[in-house]
A and B are shown apart, each in its own frame.
Chain A
Amino acid sequence: QVQLTESGPGLVHPSETLSLTCTVSGFSLTGYSVYWVRQPSGKGLEWMGRMRYNGDTSYNSALKSRLSISRDTSKNQVFLKMNSLQTDDTGTYYCAGSFDYWGQGVMVTVSS
């Protein structure tokens, strides 16, 4: 059974760095890509980036200067780090196994 679980702080202060972890089970990170997708409250979905099964990464053009995605295959975890957070980075952050499998998401609020 495939599961993805996002974890991380619910509150981040402006200008700080967001660190999120996606822990997967039911598939191997060396055989499946993992995406990060976010959604501001009441708005649409935004693709942030991906960790491909072969270790390649790709990022949203608007976010790439402050976004980094990495992984630890031994722990079945994919990591997202995004710096210089602002209030419009508030929203729900999802990790997904390609677009096939989704985590429940983690709500992140950027506020002082």
Chain B
Amino acid sequence: DVVLTQTPPTLSATIGQSVSISCRSSQSLLHSNGNTYLNWLLQRPGQPPQLLIYLVSRLESGVPNRFSGSGSGTDFTLKISGVEAEDLGVYYCVQSTHAPYTFGAGTKLELK
């Protein structure tokens, strides 16, 4: 099974600060159809997860453009350009290229 390693496990930020989260895969997430099925989710406290980014860098409808995703193959990054209070929670990368699908362990974004 694919293992996704997320770093850091915890991130402390001030409002307005830009931060990045890394997600590394144990094997390439490039599908034979040419797509890379790497997604980013945010789970706010007490809420179900919500999709932020799919196919590495495509912003889900309604998600602010301060969120951006990049990467290819085995290395991926989520960047938040100017953290806002509503961004606090746990971020997960999840791959849906290779079944069974797998999640990273999560990165908790806290206020400094």
Q: Could you say which residues of chain B place their CB within 8 Å of the CB of A99?
A: 39, 41, 49, 51, 54, 94, 96
For B50, list chain A residues within 8 Å (CB): 102
Within 8 Å CB of B43, what residues of A? 45
**Contact mask A84-112 → B, CB, 8 Å, 1/0?**
00000000001010111011110000000
In the complex, are the beta carbons of B100 and A60 less than 8 A apart? yes
What's the minimum C-beta distance from B96 to chain A, rounded to whole angstroms?
7
- Whether A47 touches B94, Cβ cut-off 8 Å, given contacts A59-B100, A100-B60, is yes
Residues of A contacting B67 with CB < 8 Å? Answer: none
Residues of B within 8 A of A (CB): 1, 39, 41, 43, 48-51, 54, 60, 90, 92, 94, 96, 99-106
A-B pairs under 8 A by CB, number: 51
- Give chain B residues whose Cβ lies under 8 Å from the Cβ of A1: none
Q: Contact check, A104 vs B48: say whether CB atoms are below 8 A apart.
A: yes
Q: Please, which residue of chain B has its CB at the minimum distance from the CB of A60?
A: B100
Interface centre among A37, A46, A94, A99 (most CB of B within 10 A): A99
Please state if B1 and A61 are interface contacts (CB–CB under 8 Å).
yes
Nearest CB to that of B101 among chain A residues? A47
* A58 / chain B contacts, CB cutoff of 8 Å: 99-101
Contact surface of A with B, Cβ cutoff 8 Å: 35, 37, 44-47, 49-50, 58-61, 94, 96, 98-100, 102-105
In-complex Cβ contact of B106 among A45, A47, A61 (8 A): A45
Q: Give Cα A103 to B100, complex, Å.
A: 21
21 interchain pairs (CB within 8 A)? A37-B49, A44-B92, A44-B106, A45-B41, A45-B43, A45-B92, A45-B106, A46-B103, A47-B100, A47-B103, A58-B100, A59-B100, A61-B1, A61-B100, A94-B49, A98-B96, A99-B41, A99-B49, A99-B51, A103-B48, A105-B48
10 tightest CB-CB pairs across the interface, nearest first?
A: A102-B48, A58-B99, A47-B101, A44-B106, A45-B103, A60-B100, A99-B51, A99-B39, A44-B105, A61-B1
